[in-house]
Structure 1
Amino acid sequence: MTKILWGSLLLLVVCLPLAACGESGSTGDAKNLTFWSAANPPQQAFWNQMAKEYMAQHPDIKVTVKAIPENPTSEASIQAALAGGTAPAASENIFTGFGGQLQNSQAIVPLDQMPGWNDVIKARHMDKTITSWKFSDDHTYILPMYSNAMLFGWRMDILKQIGYTEPPRTYSQVIAMGQKLKQKFPDKFVWARDALVKDTWYERWFDFFSIYDAASNGQNFISGGKVTANDQAAVNTLSFLKDLSQNKLLLTQTETDAFETGLSVMDIIGPWRFATWQQKYPNLKLNDNYVLTPPPVPDNMANSQNIKTFADAKGLVIYKQASTEQQNAIWEFLKWVLSDPQHDLQWLQTTSLPSARDDLSTNTTFKSYFTQNPQFSKYAENIPNAIPPINVSNYTDIQVSLGDQAVIPVVKGSASPQQAWNSWKSSVQTMLK
């Protein structure tokens, strides 16, 4: 599975007054429903199979599954469909940032008000996971389908050569390990990440936010038009990056597969990396030459349990453009899919994406899958600790500014962590409404 990278979205006008898009209470053909899946073929295959099985049990309903067009992006295609009045009844592949745009445009249904919402959450064992998907108005508009909890990989085969039997847990321990690493292997680094000196908005998910979520215990970053981040956790995160850079433990020039080749001993690893490793680096074996852990934390959190991390996660929405009858009918389909753990097993087997279930690592339904695919077990264990992206509509501008005003100056040594954080908070106020 390869990581999906989102470029800047083509911002099209979404129908703001619902009357222009079709009243949510208007009549519609609830027997013919369209569902848009991600353009990823395994996800299409799963949803086509679900629709086939559902229609066999409900012969009066037709569910047509189509891939979301990606011209230029899936987000832009959804916005264009909404503007043109051709949106599906529901779709997957929605992350919380884009969901914020859709919610701000009143284009999606608050799912927590749909009949049987609590039953779905209970049946899918999502009580912990779902809490971080709530919007600032206390409603939940996206039902997470999968959640990739970002974990840190450590090259234990190299760390063992400098006296370590387990990876460091705190910031100061990482720095101390790095200093020992340099003494024995002067050409190696703790972390190789060229994105730390680039302002590409989505890269902040895979550096700053993964570390911040751990340091803040998942405290909401922006809510209700205000910065609600834990200031000390944010400064601690930037201080960790500063210490890595100042101690020459951070490589920011572009290198190919630095972790895989052993040039660096730490990296943030998403589960999509394993498919490449099977082909290109078959020698990399879990608990042999590498291990996976939650992010390192500030020193005062050394004994903390259930460390939070960033979630590369997407979910399902229902569109208000559909009639009430269509909304209810597609919701019945989605409830049917999500209320049976066997369907989540099919999802796992088909897509290799971790289902957003609190019990994914403990439910016996999935035991054989993780026995055969042990590299995914840690991701399953950390789903309840995974925090999705910020859900404000102008997330791209905010995260570009986070790079320009905070991360890049700190890594380059042109601003202190406190100065950089204050600078970003000052600049972002004009973006929040």
Structure 2
Amino acid sequence: MPRTRRTTAAATAVAVLSVLATACTGQSGSAVSDDPGKEVTLNFWHGWSAPSEIKAIEENIARFEKAHPNIKVKVTGNMTDDKINQALRAGGDKAPDVVSSFTTDSVGKFCNTGAFTDLNPFLSKAGMDKAKIFPKTLLDYTQFNGNQCTLPLLNDAYGLVYNKDAFKAAGITEPPKTWSQFVEVAQKLTKPNGDSYDQLGIMPTYHGYETTPARLAAQWSPKYFAADGKSNLAKDPGFASMLTAQKDLVAKLGGYEKLEKFRNTVGDEWSAEHPFHKGQVAMQIDGEWRASMAKEAGVTFEIGTAPLPVPDDQAGDYGKGYLSGTIMGIAAGSRKQNASWELVKYMTTDTGAVVAFANAIHNVPSTLAALESPDLQVTPEFKTFLDIARNAKSSTTPAQADGGTYQLTFQDFAYAVEKGDVADIPAGLAKTDQQIDTDIAKAK
């Protein structure tokens, strides 16, 4: 379902969260003393805004309040990290007690600054083994340096959504599994028309909606940081290989300028006018929500889904992908920590609650039990993304003290590469490493 672009959210969070360290006074989960059995009202802020998403949140909260009649929840939606930050700095009764954010990239900063409470003591007191509740990759992006300051609340897996009718017309019998197959299929599906296209196999530029450097890099199984914590982009050959492969695909589909000109004529990512919905693009790198959105938009073609292709020398890893998701935490300044934990625990670990929410907004469940629940509504298109989420080799971008700044630095370099502004990719990656290391050192 529609949601804020995480790259945009990360940029906002990076800009505003740098002052959180002086604004927050953290509390240990084992030190708080409020009685969760007494009458209390919690302020819960989240980022969802679509009517169907708001309805799903309200239904989830209603189930929680029924199970916890003494706890009332005041819900405020469509809240950005900027607004959340301002409220946390101001404090007071109107500040959020519980927060849900789309910005997984900022977990490192949330934890490092003490903006959110470490949930490990709460988990321990409840006798909950988080490793048996959540997939490892989701735990990786919700904690930093052992501080579990957030927990996963639903999950996004990224794969390939494609037009089966266009495939059939081009004589393509199955989705591509390796990068060389992907390039061949994208070219077969592309129908140029002068300086534009009647149909484009795929929009390969990094501005093309969810076709971001991080999504593609995941297929090369990259290691962003070395054991000593230093940025590892230049030393891991996967980054240079991915950047080179993507640049080559851009060239083969018409070149950067022609592709960007076409991209600027197509519809918005979250509207019915999306170019995949309109048949203007035959393949789309996207999340689990795209197939359902396309159906709601009234597409007339059959939709297929598959994992993203992998490098030819990693063909045995086909099935993996990039994972991200929504996070949920407790504001460190809240005086209602125990009651807040009851809400966080319910929404993130209760199988019924997680499954119902996932069904309502068409996202991947975030607990191991919910992934296997018989109540989970699974279409053939959706199953692909469940399999990607379960794949042990699926990965995410690791949390860092600078939040998502290091990703934006890498992304800016990738933009320069695809435009043809970088003559020496390895040297450029080494320089990017230096900038990332400098930024992280400052954040620490």
TM-score range, shorter chain: 0.7 to 0.9
Letter in 2 for 1:137: N
1:89 to 2:100 alignment: no
State whether structure 2 residue 118 is matched by structure 1 residue 110.
Answer: yes
Determine the structure 2 residue equivalent to 1:316: 328
TM-score (norm 2): 0.78
Instruction: Give distance in 2, aligned partners of 1:85 and 1:378.
Output: 43
Contact 2:142 2:152 (8 Å CA) reproduced:
no
1:80 to 58, 76, 86: 86
* Equivalence map 1:190-201=2 (5 Å): 190-193=201-204, 195-196=206-207
Q: 1:349 and 2:359 equivalent?
A: yes
**Alpha-carbon spacing, 1:115–1:359, altered in 2? closer, same or farther (3 Å):** closer
Relative to structure 1, the CA distance from residue 224 to residue 364 in structure 2 (aligned partners, 3 Å threshold; closer, same or farther) is farther
Q: How many residues align structurally? A: 409
Does 179-188 or 388-397 show the bigger shift? 179-188
Matches within 5 A, 1:319-398: 319-323=331-335, 326-358=336-368, 360-366=370-376, 369-370=377-378, 373-385=379-391, 387-395=395-403, 397-398=405-406
- Work out whether residues 120 and 338 of structure 1, in 8 Å CA contact, stay in contact via their aligned partners in 2: no
- Percent identical residues: 19
Task: For residue 173 of structure 1, give the secondary structure of its aligned residue in structure 2.
Answer: helix
Inter-CA distance 213–163: structure 2 relative to 1 (3 Å threshold): same
- The answer to whether the Cα contact below 8 Å between 2:152 and 2:328 also exists between their aligned partners in 1 is yes
**Separation (CA, whole Å) in 2 of partners of 1:353 and 1:338:** 14
Name the CA distance, whole Å, in 2 between partners of 1:413 and 1:15.
Answer: 37
The aligned counterpart of 1:273 is 290
CA distance in 2, matches of 1:80, 1:315: 19
**CA shift digits 1:385-406 (9 cap, x unpaired):** 4544443354454344323323
Is contact 1:96–1:388 with CA below 8 Å preserved after alignment? no
Aligned with 1:233: secondary structure?
A: helix
Deviations 1:125-148 (A, max 9, x none): 424343422544133222111111
- In structure 2, relative to structure 1, the CA distance for the partners of 1:178 and 1:278 (3 Å cut) is closer
- Give the alignment's TM-score, normalised by structure 1: 0.80
CA distance in structure 2 between the aligned counterparts of 1:350 and 1:47, rounded to whole angstroms: 9
2:307 corresponds to:
294
Q: CA deviation at 1:172?
A: 1.8
Q: Structure 1: where are the runs of 5+ without partners? A: 198-202
Q: Note if contact 1:38-1:44 (Cα within 8 Å) is conserved in structure 2.
A: no
| Amino acid corresponding to residue 310 of structure 2 in structure 1 | V
Query: In structure 2, what is the Cα distance between the partners aligned to 1:338 and 1:144?
Result: 6
Deviations 1:190-249 (A, max 9, x none): 32255449xxxxx6x642111111211x64558875314572111121011121023235
SS in 2 for 1:227: coil
SS in 2 for 1:356: coil
Match of 2:415 among 389, 407, 411: 407
Equivalent-residue separation in structure 1 for 2:413 and 2:46 (angstroms): 36
Letter in 2 for 1:233: G
Mapping 1:180-219, distance limit 5 Å: 180-181=188-189, 187=197, 188-193=199-204, 195-196=206-207, 206-216=211-221, 219=223
CA-to-aligned-CA distance 1:103-123 (integer Å, 9 cap, x gap): 221121222232346636477
Q: Secondary structure at the match of 2:328?
A: strand
Alpha-carbon contact 2:52-2:361 (below 8 Å) kept:
yes
- The more displaced of 142-151 and 100-109 is 100-109
| Secondary structure in 2 matching 1:382 | helix
Residues 1:148 and 2:156 are matched in the alignment: yes
Map 1:170-249 onto structure 2 (within 5 A). Answer: 170-181=178-189, 187=197, 188-193=199-204, 195-196=206-207, 206-216=211-221, 219-220=223-224, 226-229=230-233, 231-248=236-253
CA distance in 2, matches of 1:4, 1:222: 31
Residue type of the partner of 2:90? G
> Contact 1:93–1:314 at 8 Å: present in 2 too?
yes
> Secondary structure of the residue that 1:315 maps to in structure 2?
strand
Displacement of 1:284 in angstroms is 3.1
The letter of the residue matching 1:321 is G
Structure 2 distance, partners of 1:356, 1:206, is 23
Alpha-carbon RMSD across the aligned residues, in angstroms, is: 3.4
Taking the aligned partners of 1:132 and 1:191, their CA distance within structure 2 comes to: 31
